[in-house]
Amino acid sequence: MKVEAIGKETIKPSSPTPNDLRTVKLSVYDQFLPPVYTVSVLFFSNSCRHDQTQREGPMFSEHDTSLKLKSSLSETLTRFYPLSGRINDGGDAIDCNDEGAVFVDARSDSTLLDFLKSPDFAALQRFLPLDTVENPYESAATWPLLLVKATYFKCGGLAIGICISHKIADAASISMFVRGWAATARGDSDSATYPEFTAAKFFPPASESTRFSGKITLDRKICATKRFVFDGSKIAELRRKVASGDVAEPTRVESITGLLWKCVVTASNSVSEKLLSKVLNQPVNLRGKVPSLLSENVMGNVMYSSMPLMIDGQGEVEIQDAVKDLRRKADELKRFIRDDGGSSLIGTKMVDLILSNISGLSYETHEPYSVSSWCKLPLYEADFGWGSPAWVTGNVAPALDNLMILIDSKDGAGVEAWVTLPEQVMLSFEQNAELLAFACPNPTVSV
């Protein structure tokens, strides 16, 4: 499949950012995150259109659709104004200077249906505008903070790839932005999102003294990223299997995380003789959990990172034990929030706990993994005026090692897992019989 850029433009807010909003502080949590982009790709097909009487011919006129996307993005940036700015030299704030976001138009020589037959990760990257920046790591930490790519398939379908610097956006943030932009595009002002850039009022604000001084390099392990899909019936079966007296009704995410963790540990043990402890990090979205301090519209990285699972050396994992530990950590967080009573210092206390969790970790003694759940984020509600997406996917780019992303299938019952592991570990992982009893490797996306 070939994707060729046919145009590139800088989109600025339709109205200048007021002087009193020209600086947005980053939180210390934002500052510590690696310089990558939080990314999502939304695919729209002819069958998505509202007018079902006209199904023949291209759904999207390149010229008209591009104008609509660009003009609505310009309007949306007046509300999401930091995305047009750049992170300052100190790395502790965003200068909201309206420099703009990058927008790329592109064409694919494939049809959408052909691509969705087997949507591999390498091909998926072609719908992201990362090739417009010289170094994605430097760009994610400086500027541009927002990049967009609209790719038109020869069948008339459309892919919209969105990259927002992880320094200012977690998964919930990119969902908020996408739905806000879509509402503006379809002219639905009542549904327009008004974000709050107040993460640094919850977590301690970043400062030059807390700036991460290390450098991210490209000398990383050779990794593979693959997609595994759990349909609703298989998830129900898995939940029944992992239920226990300690966790009588495990959630979808708990059950799938427990299974993936067991299979990852087994695969890692099979290819490595190093006696490294394996640690699983699980970021938790805090929006709605501390309602007195955090609304659902807070933009930024509003997460609590816990280390719920750890296995020593060549130890093995029992799924029920993993699910029990996941539930125990979730209950501990609830009690912590409840006992704190929503005081203004709770964010500081959480950062202290996060730092305490990671202070004893070292790459020489520990093998870190992360699982991030995007489940229940309403990305399929992103209607730009031509209906909901046929398929939505998300990740971070450039892809991080040892990362698992969980995202809802379109029916809301299934879950897609994008798993990134070292190549040799992946070869063992993807052949695990217990995994394959519940998950299907990269099935065709139904449109």
CB 255 within 8 A of CB 74: no
Residue 354 identity: I
- 383: tokens are 């209607």
**Catalytic (active site) residue 105:** no
How many CB atoms within 10 Å of residue 9? 14
Catalytic residue among 166, 170, 325, 408: 166
Of residues 283, 290, 228, 293, the one with CA closest to residue 437? 228
Catalytic residue among 30, 170, 383, 408: 383
Of residues 111, 126, 94, 142, the one with CA closest to residue 5? 126
What are the angstrom distances between the C-alpha of 157 and each of 5, 118, 121, 175, 211? 16, 16, 19, 21, 43
What are the angstrom distances between the C-alpha of 239 and each of 73, 235, 292, 370, 377? 41, 6, 33, 21, 21
**Catalytic (active site) residue 401:** no
Compute the radius of gyration of the chain from its Cα atoms. 22
d(C-alpha 113, C-alpha 153), whole Å: 10
- Compute, in degrees rounded to 10, the torsion defined by CA atoms 214, 215, 216, 219: -110
d(C-alpha 263, C-alpha 269), whole Å: 10
Catalytic residue numbers, as ranges = 166, 383
